Amino acid sequence: MRACSAYESMIMSMRSCRHWFALLSAVLTSIAAHAATRPNVVFIMTDDHAAHALSAYGSRVNETPNLDRIAREGMRFTHAFAVNSICTPSRATLLTGKYSHLNGVPVFNRFDGSQPTVAKYLQAAGYHTGMVGKWHLGSDPTGFDHWIILPGQGDYMDPAFLTPSGRKVIPGYVSDIITDLSIEFLKQRPTNRPFFLMSHHKAPHRPWEPHPKHRAQFAGRTIPEPATLRDDYATRTDALHENRQRVFDDLTRRDLKLEPPADLQGPARAQWLNAIPRVVETTVDGRSQTLTGEALNAWKYQRYMQDYLACVQSVDDNVGRLLDWLSTHGLAENTVVIYTSDQGFFLGDHGLYDKRFMYEPSLRMPLLVRWPGQIRPGSVEGSLVINPDFAPTFMDLAGLAVPDDMQGRSLVPLFRGSAPSDWRTSLYYRYYHDPGHHNTRAHYGVRTRTHKLIHYWKKDQWELFDLVTDPDELRNLYSDPAQQETVSRLKSELQRLKREFKDDDQFAHEQPGGPGVDGPFPDKAAPR
Ligand code: CA
């Protein structure tokens, strides 16, 4: 091959430069044209808000008019699920679009913020990015132009916040403050760029401490009991029998907001608050009563739900406030508003509070999306959606290609009412935090539109539920001879999903430790 002369090289270089300038110019023009239309994204996520505590989902226990407004003006997803139903893993999945075994957060361990995240991709593409509220990932946020987060779980009243420049306490109630800070982010944003805001609430997470006005709203209200509150766990495996997240047997005096004797101080006071009451002196209908047994159980459910629902109400009020702000500032039209929770929650279902299990109340997330002009108002979407889908969705909304290593799929075609013909017909779930804070057995499983198969792998015990004939998941059919073909088919599907999602069991035998020792976290990070 003939070597180029210096002159020829110079000419080629100039041609190459011209070529690249032309190409770059075309790309920039294209980006600029697209940037003008790229939608803003406001992603509102609560902590532990079960779908069955939203009236848009047919709640029997409360009314959420502001959240319902998103459903009315947008789309309600009926089958949205978390793939590892606890707080920190859900947040890592949200940012990465990956299952826990690939993002390195199977339990309450620290998130490695040096890995690619959707916030970084959007920031690099010109979005002004903000993270406000509960973060709970043990490391500082990365990929955000602005962040202000609760340390660990954070407090309900007068909470402290962490920022790049240090820690500050903001007086007031946490849901109000997170909304104020979210609006402040919007006010301060550069108006020549689209924005991506993650507004993450603490409420209604334990210890369920309502704002006084909402506490008053729910005080004395009688909440209907769920049909499975007194589930006897017949036919189910050891996992349900061994778990320690039962309304009747595991809620503490602190959870139930019982007042310790005035003379009790220091460790003795803490011990009193952390104990589980078997007798409660209280006032019912103006008369002092001693509650025990079944009467106490019923009272515990009411106390739990009154506080939980009062915390939900603070979120509902504040979502309304944020929606109003977007409307009055001309931002409603070109902003995608998404409302969800980091997972579901048991509202006395199966006698439980908390989450973790692959049963429906815990697995299912509320998911409401408003996008004027793109989503038909009042639409309902039933496709199987998982939380690894969020990151690819944000990429798609920003006009970016979804990276190959993200494991979810963009929901944008679903928003537009046209689910792809090859959309998933089953989903994979895996929970690791065993024994964790509630003595919950590790498990993985598959859910289809009609069935659920769960494997508690450390015990090698299985559960099979027919979701059509037994939506409350009360009859484990795993040993039923008539179900063996279904068992076999679902086991094959489970293995296929494990391969598809590259789950090589790397965290299968790790011991996350007992209560409060879940890794290198500040003490407030571990759930109480
Ligand atoms: Ca949570």
Tell me: pLDDT of 521 over 60: no
Residue 224 has what pLDDT? Answer: 98
pLDDT class of 528 with cuts at 50, 70, 90: very low
| pLDDT tens digit sequence for 405-417 | 999 999 999 999 9
pLDDT class of 283 with cuts at 50, 70, 90: confident
Distance CA 523, CA 518 (A): 10
Residue 437 has what pLDDT? Answer: 85
| pLDDT tens digit sequence for 431-464 | 999 998 899 999 999 999 999 999 999 999 999 9
Where on the phi/psi map is residue 104: left (φ > 0), alpha (ψ -120 to 50), or beta?
Answer: left
Q: Using the mean position of ligand 1's atoms as its centre, give its distance from the Cα of residue 335 in Å.
A: 26
| Least confidently predicted of 9-18, 158-167, 195-204, 428-437 | 9-18
Distance CA 88, CA 110 (A): 9
Instruction: Give me the DSSP letters along 20-66.
Output: HHHHHHHHHHHHHHHHHHPPEEEEEEESS--GGGSGGGT-SS---HH
Residue 142 has what pLDDT? Answer: 98
Q: Using the mean position of ligand 1's atoms as its centre, give its distance from the Cα of residue 147 in Å.
A: 20
Q: Using the mean position of ligand 1's atoms as its centre, give its distance from the Cα of residue 369 in Å.
A: 20
Q: Using the mean position of ligand 1's atoms as its centre, give its distance from the Cα of residue 343 in Å.
A: 6
| Helix intervals (H) in 144-221 | 174-188, 212-218
Q: Using the mean position of ligand 1's atoms as its centre, give its distance from the Cα of residue 90 in Å.
A: 8
Instruction: Tell me how crowded residue 217 is: count the other CB atoms within 10 A of its CB.
Output: 15
Average pLDDT, rounded, for the chain = 92
| Least confidently predicted of 13-17, 67-71, 77-81, 130-134 | 13-17
Q: Using the mean position of ligand 1's atoms as its centre, give its distance from the Cα of residue 101 in Å.
A: 19
Q: Using the mean position of ligand 1's atoms as its centre, give its distance from the Cα of residue 44 in Å.
A: 13
Q: Which residues touch 391 (CB under 8 Å, ≥6 apart)? A: 94, 95, 96, 97, 117, 118, 406, 408
Q: Which residues touch 11 (CB under 8 Å, ≥6 apart)? A: none
Q: Using the mean position of ligand 1's atoms as its centre, give its distance from the Cα of residue 86 in Å.
A: 5
Tell me: pLDDT of 287 over 60: yes
Which residues, by Cβ under 5 Å, contact ligand 1, an ion?
A: 47-48, 87, 342
Q: Which residues touch 244 (CB under 8 Å, ≥6 apart)? A: 250, 438, 439
Tell me: pLDDT of 421 over 60: yes
Q: Using the mean position of ligand 1's atoms as its centre, give its distance from the Cα of residue 205 in Å.
A: 7
Instruction: Tell me how crowded residue 242 is: count the other CB atoms within 10 A of its CB.
Output: 15
| pLDDT tens digit sequence for 457-514 | 999 999 999 999 999 999 999 999 999 999 999 999 999 999 999 999 999 887 654 4
Residue 19 has what pLDDT? Answer: 52
Is-contact 130 185, C-beta < 8 A? yes
Q: Using the mean position of ligand 1's atoms as its centre, give its distance from the Cα of residue 32 in Å.
A: 38
Tell me: pLDDT of 15 over 80: no
Pull the structure tokens for residue 102. Answer: 């690939």
Q: Using the mean position of ligand 1's atoms as its centre, give its distance from the Cα of residue 45 in Å.
A: 10
| pLDDT tens digit sequence for 26-51 | 444 445 445 458 999 999 999 999 99
Nearest Cα to Cα of residue 231 among 63, 366, 357: 357
Q: Using the mean position of ligand 1's atoms as its centre, give its distance from the Cα of residue 508 in Å.
A: 22
Residue 18 has what pLDDT? Answer: 52
| pLDDT tens digit sequence for 330-358 | 999 999 999 999 999 999 999 999 999 99
Q: Using the mean position of ligand 1's atoms as its centre, give its distance from the Cα of residue 88 in Å.
A: 7
Q: Using the mean position of ligand 1's atoms as its centre, give its distance from the Cα of residue 168 in Å.
A: 24
| pLDDT tens digit sequence for 107-157 | 999 999 999 999 999 999 999 999 999 999 999 999 999 999 999 999 999
3-state class (DSSP) for residue 351: helix
Q: Is 363 exposed, middle or buried (0-12, 13-18, 19+ CB in 10 A)?
A: buried
Give me the torsion for CA of 251, 252, 255, 256, rounded to 10°.
90
Residue 220 has what pLDDT? Answer: 84
Where on the phi/psi map is residue 427: left (φ > 0), alpha (ψ -120 to 50), or beta?
Answer: beta
Pull the structure tokens for residue 154. Answer: 């954070």
Where on the phi/psi map is residue 235: left (φ > 0), alpha (ψ -120 to 50), or beta?
Answer: left
Q: Using the mean position of ligand 1's atoms as its centre, give its distance from the Cα of residue 439 in Å.
A: 17
Q: Using the mean position of ligand 1's atoms as its centre, give its distance from the Cα of residue 420 in Å.
A: 30
User: Terminal CA-to-CA distance of the chain, rounded, Å?
Assistant: 72
Distance CA 501, CA 427 (A): 10
Q: Using the mean position of ligand 1's atoms as its centre, give its distance from the Cα of residue 366 in Å.
A: 13
Residue 509 has what pLDDT? Answer: 82
Pull the structure tokens for residue 62. Answer: 């409360």
Q: Using the mean position of ligand 1's atoms as its centre, give its distance from the Cα of residue 48 in Å.
A: 4
Q: Using the mean position of ligand 1's atoms as its centre, give its distance from the Cα of residue 2 in Å.
A: 67
Q: Using the mean position of ligand 1's atoms as its centre, give its distance from the Cα of residue 265 in Å.
A: 31
The residue whose two tokens read 């076999």 is 488
| Residue percentage of the chain with pLDDT more than 90 | 87
Q: Using the mean position of ligand 1's atoms as its centre, give its distance from the Cα of residue 239 in Å.
A: 20
Distance CA 42, CA 340 (A): 11
Nearest Cα to Cα of residue 143 among 175, 169, 115, 174: 115
Distance CA 198, CA 133 (A): 8
Q: Which residues touch 258 (CB under 8 Å, ≥6 apart)? A: 273, 277, 280
Tell me: pLDDT of 272 over 70: yes
Q: Using the mean position of ligand 1's atoms as its centre, give its distance from the Cα of residue 79 in Å.
A: 18
Instruction: Tell me how crowded residue 227 is: count the other CB atoms within 10 A of its CB.
Output: 11
Q: Using the mean position of ligand 1's atoms as its centre, give its distance from the Cα of residue 87 in Å.
A: 4
Q: Using the mean position of ligand 1's atoms as its centre, give its distance from the Cα of residue 31 in Å.
A: 37
| pLDDT tens digit sequence for 152-180 | 999 999 999 999 999 999 999 999 999 99
Q: Using the mean position of ligand 1's atoms as its centre, give its distance from the Cα of residue 283 in Å.
A: 33
Q: Using the mean position of ligand 1's atoms as its centre, give its distance from the Cα of residue 225 in Å.
A: 22
What average pLDDT score do residues 80-109 get? 97
Residue 482 has what pLDDT? Answer: 98
Q: Using the mean position of ligand 1's atoms as its centre, give its distance from the Cα of residue 354 in Å.
A: 9
Q: Using the mean position of ligand 1's atoms as its centre, give its distance from the Cα of residue 208 in Å.
A: 12
Phi, psi at 281, each rounded to 5°: -90, 120
Q: Using the mean position of ligand 1's atoms as its centre, give its distance from the Cα of residue 82 in Å.
A: 10
Q: Using the mean position of ligand 1's atoms as its centre, give its distance from the Cα of residue 47 in Å.
A: 4
Is-contact 123 117, C-beta < 8 A? no
Q: Using the mean position of ligand 1's atoms as its centre, give its distance from the Cα of residue 204 in Å.
A: 9
